[in-house]
Structure 1
Amino acid sequence: MKTTYIRLSIATALLLGTYSCKKGEVSATDMEKYATADSASVVSSDSISSVASMKVKDKQFIKTADINMEVKDVYEATISIEKSVQELGGFVTHSNLNSNVVSEDTYNTSSDNAMLVKKYQTENRMQMRIPTNKLGELLTLINDKKLFLNSRSINAEDVTSSIKYAELEGKRIKKTSENISQLKANKDKVQLDDNNMSEGNQQQLANMDVTDNLKYSTIDIYIKEPKLRIAEIAIINTKNIDNKYKFNFIYSVKEAFVEGYYLIQRILVGLIMIWPVLLIGAVIVYFLRKRKSIKKPEQNISQL
């Protein structure tokens, strides 16, 4: 992914069209001189990789590295690596240390105390920029921290031809700018000059990115611990606390009386709400009883 970004930066720097008369040429030339100076200062003292310290006459390289390894202590290794980067004139752009919890269990040790046991694995993803001439030295220091190296990738992208092409483009851009300056002043010339300045600024920015990538190498590191760690944390026995306050007889009886009182109130309110039904029912019962009382004397008379 880093290589793709670098290639896009170079392509943007070289193919963006017309550029202002002096900026394009100076930027391309300075980029080549800067890269040459950096390459010449590389000392082949890196025993860990010939790619990291590679120096070829008349060649310029953008170098990157990607490392995946296991260490004894992620936190300690992180602090040590970051310190080494600073001492070598580099800087850390990203560091994400994370503890992945695999399991978490609570064990009661007494009626009041308990122990929380966590099993976890710590890892860290880091990205840093280091002066290219210090890349080999930093890789050696990082290698000393490993328990096991899962993978390591070191890339050296040859951008010599791209830098040369940028210089040629600078000369062409200068000529184009001179031709624009000879045009008759009108709205079209203003538009051409404005477009030329805009594209020139974009190319200048892209050239700065390429120069920065030549001066500083990018390293991505992923480190983790090979085995799970265990953390023991003293906590309160919450289960005993729950049992202590789970049921209170006196309080529950008091609440029952209060709830019973409110229940009676709700029943009375309900009866009041249905008073028409109760009244109709009472009237019906009254007439039924009255009718029964009339029928009984008639039955007694017929029997006589």
Structure 2
Amino acid sequence: MKTTYIQLSLSAVLLLGIYSCKKGEVAATEVSASDSTVATVTDSVSSAATMEVKDKQFIKTADVNMEVKDVYEATVSIEKTVQDLGGFVTHSNLQSSILSEDTYNTSDHEAMLIKKYHTENTMQVRVPTEKLGELLTKINDKKVFLNYRTINAEDVTSNIKYAEMEGKRIKKTGENIDQLKTNKDKVKLDNDNMAEGNLQQLATMDTTDNIKYSTIDIYIKEPKLRIAEIAVSNTRNIDNQYKFNFIYDAKNAFVEGFYLIQKIAVGLITIWPLVLILGAVLYFLRKRKLTKTEHKKVQE
């Protein structure tokens, strides 16, 4: 009798379990079909971005690297989204790296400058921590390919507790220093304790700010190269047109020749002592030669 009762009880429990499982599967199917939008949002944002734990404090950061269709358009959209969420941009470096640059002449006066370039932007933004998940979802809408996304939630609860204890210690140390007799050592101790207190307050302020605002580093680029076509002047043809002018150059050559003669004359006038000494040397050498010639004729 007892065995039969136990068997009937186990059978009832088993049937209830099967019924509950089937009911749960049906409920799950209904939720998935009727609330697909919520499921998509949940899948696109890591739980670390929206995680909240009682009696815990987290510093949340994120790093996103993705490719977008238009870097400039995505940059403007992200900056506007950050502003709308109550955040701000701390860094944005939008730049184009030129890979090649060629000029093709299309007529005697016109040419086309072809630039192949790659556009990218490195950004750092900060938003209220409770808006981190929403920002990541909106950034994700701009991607054509996601290289990687990293979300960090650092538990700083113990650090905050330690900072509070350190603040109490510094305060107690200051009270003990005040009870000392005023002298040179007391001034130094008081100054060092105040400096330590200031550093502790600064660290506490930084931690509070990092808890309140999350920092997101964003790198975006375009998957393909861009080509810019810029109309310019045909500089080569213009250079050839004005490279040589015979009449103008001949006139300048004549004038420069005249100036050269003047410079030579001025140069000779400048070295007149040398010319005079050279003339005197030549005169004495010639006179000496004539004297030797006359003496030789007399001997003959």
TM-score, length of structure 2 as denominator length: 0.74
Equivalent-residue separation in structure 2 for 1:283 and 1:261 (angstroms): 36
Equivalent-residue separation in structure 1 for 2:199 and 2:182 (angstroms): 25
- Contact 1:100–1:121, Cα closer than 8 Å, also in 2: yes
Name the structure, 1 or 2, with higher relative contact order (CA <8 Å, separation 6+). 1
Q: Which residue of 2 aligns with 1:152?
A: 149
Say if 2:243 is the partner of 1:246: yes
Match of 2:63 among 66, 70, 78: 66
- Contact 1:99–1:120, Cα closer than 8 Å, also in 2: yes
Q: Which residue of 1 aligns with 2:121?
A: 124
- Contact 2:82–2:88, Cα closer than 8 Å, also in 1: yes
Q: Which residue of 2 aligns with 1:229?
A: 226
* CA spacing shift, 1:283–1:243, aligned 2, 3 Å: farther
- Contact 1:46–1:140, Cα closer than 8 Å, also in 2: no
- Contact 1:46–1:52, Cα closer than 8 Å, also in 2: no
* CA spacing shift, 1:186–1:292, aligned 2, 3 Å: closer
1:156 deviation in Å?
A: 0.9
Equivalent-residue separation in structure 1 for 2:231 and 2:283 (angstroms): 71
Residue identity matched to 1:248: N
- Contact 2:105–2:234, Cα closer than 8 Å, also in 1: yes
Q: Which residue of 1 aligns with 2:136?
A: 139
Equivalent-residue separation in structure 2 for 1:166 and 1:238 (angstroms): 69
- Contact 1:46–1:136, Cα closer than 8 Å, also in 2: no
1:178 deviation in Å?
A: 4.3
1:290 deviation in Å?
A: 9.4
Q: Which residue of 1 aligns with 2:89?
A: 92
* CA spacing shift, 1:264–1:178, aligned 2, 3 Å: closer
Equivalent-residue separation in structure 2 for 1:160 and 1:271 (angstroms): 94
The structure carrying a bigger helix percent of its residues is 2
Say if 2:272 is the partner of 1:275: no
Unaligned runs of 5+ in 2: 1-40
Q: Which residue of 2 aligns with 1:186?
A: 182
SS at match of 2:197: helix
* CA spacing shift, 1:56–1:256, aligned 2, 3 Å: same
* CA spacing shift, 1:283–1:88, aligned 2, 3 Å: same
Equivalent-residue separation in structure 2 for 1:111 and 1:284 (angstroms): 70
- CA deviation profile, 1:118-170 (whole Å, cap 9, x unmatched): 11111111111111111111111111111222222111111112222233334
* CA spacing shift, 1:282–1:185, aligned 2, 3 Å: closer
Q: Which residue of 1 aligns with 2:9?
A: none
Q: Which residue of 1 aligns with 2:197?
A: 200
Q: Which residue of 2 aligns with 1:7?
A: none
Q: Which residue of 1 aligns with 2:6?
A: none
- CA deviation profile, 1:84-110 (whole Å, cap 9, x unmatched): 001111100111111111111111111
- Contact 2:118–2:226, Cα closer than 8 Å, also in 1: yes
Q: Which residue of 1 aligns with 2:254?
A: 257
- CA deviation profile, 1:188-233 (whole Å, cap 9, x unmatched): 5554444333322221111010000111111111111121111111
- CA deviation profile, 1:46-99 (whole Å, cap 9, x unmatched): 542111112223222111111111111111000000000011111001111111
- Contact 1:62–1:214, Cα closer than 8 Å, also in 2: yes
Say if 2:52 is the partner of 1:55: yes
The alignment's C-alpha RMSD in Å is 2.8
Equivalent-residue separation in structure 1 for 2:73 and 2:292 (angstroms): 102
Equivalent-residue separation in structure 2 for 1:267 and 1:95 (angstroms): 65
- Contact 2:167–2:200, Cα closer than 8 Å, also in 1: no
Q: How many residues align?
A: 253
Equivalent-residue separation in structure 1 for 2:258 and 2:167 (angstroms): 96
* CA spacing shift, 1:294–1:99, aligned 2, 3 Å: same
* CA spacing shift, 1:278–1:228, aligned 2, 3 Å: farther
Equivalent-residue separation in structure 2 for 1:247 and 1:283 (angstroms): 54
Residue identity matched to 2:229: E
Unaligned runs of 5+ in 1: 1-44
TM-score, length of structure 1 as denominator length: 0.73
Q: How does 1:10-25 map to 2 (within 5 A)?
A: none
* CA spacing shift, 1:251–1:283, aligned 2, 3 Å: farther
Residue identity matched to 2:194: M
